[in-house]
Structure 1
Amino acid sequence: MAVLPPGRRNRLSPNQLAKQEQIVDAARRVLVRDGLAGCTARAIAAEGPLTKSAIHYYFSDIDLLIDRAMAALVTDFLTGLRLVADKYDDPRERLWAVLESYLGTFAEHPNAAFAWFEYWVAVGRADNVQAAEVTLRSVIELLTDLLDDVGIDDPRARARALQSYLLGAVVQQHVRRRPFAVLREEIELLCLA
């Protein structure tokens, strides 16, 4: 279901909601391809079926549109990780498969990682971190569940540490690619020792 700003849900028709979603989908593609700086109303209009004027009609604030697009990207990312997790019965195998998929996603789509980091920096500078906090919390919740299933002490604290490690690993993998087996050893020391 689409995430709408407070008070807008009751005022938009199903057709208008569909158009809003088309704009969000176009913004997602632009974010991944061109990064945050390239995610302008003009670029989104060129990517999608609606005009720049329509974008401004449905989103009075481009930052709100970018928040929605980033939330959708993270939701898709987490859905993919959960699909990976669902393939495994053994909690440890599940954890490793999800972590490998997590890192693999950003290796396959490096611009997605850059968009994520650019977004965090931008909302931090604007002192508007609520939307980014929600996405971060969603990832940490998934990691907490995975670590809890393995039987780790204080899975939430370990999940926060693991998320910090993974974010750093995503950046480092762009500079110096290392095999997952090496990263796995580091993760074992961090979370499972």
Structure 2
Amino acid sequence: MPDLTPNQLAKRQQIVDAARLVLARDGLAGCTARAVADASPLTKSAIHYYFADMDDLIDQAMAGHIDAFVANLRAAAARQDAAADRFWAAVRDYVETFRQQPGVLRLWFAYWISATTKNRLTAIETMHDSVAGIFAELLTDIGVDDPARRADELFSFLLGEVVRSAVTPRSFDELRARITDICAIS
């Protein structure tokens, strides 16, 4: 898209914000140009003007959801003083987000399936790098060996755990014991 004026950038952001709202409310299948137009002050034709296709808009909206999720993890960690407490606060926030908002779980995995099918992996790579990066920083702060590898393993475990918890949730104490092993926390 050619250089946009500040007004055009603001309109584009309104569309992304509306798509975020629709995704959170109606899921991936419900995020249509009509639904986004109805949730924004702009028209369906404006959506098509500012975005090459719905996949581009959805990628931008999911990137916004990812940014907010990562900011919440950082905020949860920042509320703690001790390095170990910061790590556990971020892990708890990660798990609780999906437990308290099952629609988020459905949205993330529907998006993952759609994005991987269409080979649109940027937002997924960003999420992985951002979340694993936070965990690696926090593991570094508590002195874990090879924090980047441990953070990747933790992230994979947590992805599986949030899916599993939709059927059979484990207590945080059970998760904490497994995470302590995965991350080699002493």
TM-score by length of 1: 0.91
In the TM superposition, what whole-angstrom CA distance separates every residue of 1:134-162 from its partner, at most 9, and x where no partner exists? 22111111111011111111101100000
3-state DSSP class of the match of 2:166? helix
State the Cα distance separating 1:128 from its structure 2 match: 2.5
Matched, 1:177 2:169: yes
Within 5 Å, give how 1:79-118 maps onto structure 2: 79-118=71-110
Matched, 1:64 2:43: no
Unaligned segments of structure 1, at least 5 residues = 1-6
3-state DSSP class of the match of 1:175? coil
3-state DSSP class of the match of 2:81? coil
Residue in structure 2 matched with residue 23 of structure 1 by the alignment: 15
Matched, 1:13 2:44: no
TM-score by length of 2: 0.94
- Matched-pair contact (CA < 8 Å) for 1:30–1:38: yes
Q: CA RMSD in A?
A: 1.3
Instruction: Specify the code of the residue in structure 1 equivalent to 2:16.
Output: V
CA distance, structure 2, for counterparts of residue 172 and residue 155 of structure 1: 25
Q: Equivalent of 1:46, from 33, 38, 55?
A: 38
State the Cα distance separating 1:44 from its structure 2 match: 1.0
In the TM superposition, what whole-angstrom CA distance separates every residue of 1:18-39 from its partner, at most 9, and x where no partner exists? 1111111111111122221111
- Matched-pair contact (CA < 8 Å) for 1:31–1:112: no
Query: What's the % identity of the aligned pairs?
Result: 49
Residue in structure 2 matched with residue 164 of structure 1 by the alignment: 156
Unaligned segments of structure 2, at least 5 residues = none
3-state DSSP class of the match of 2:144? coil
Instruction: Specify the code of the residue in structure 1 equivalent to 2:54.
Output: I
Q: Equivalent of 1:186, from 155, 158, 178?
A: 178
Residue in structure 2 matched with residue 151 of structure 1 by the alignment: 143
- Matched-pair contact (CA < 8 Å) for 1:84–1:97: yes
Instruction: Specify the code of the residue in structure 1 equivalent to 2:176.
Output: R
In the TM superposition, what whole-angstrom CA distance separates every residue of 1:20-64 from its partner, at most 9, and x where no partner exists? 111111111111222211111111112222111111111121111
State the Cα distance separating 1:177 from its structure 2 match: 2.2
Residue in structure 1 matched with residue 27 of structure 2 by the alignment: 35
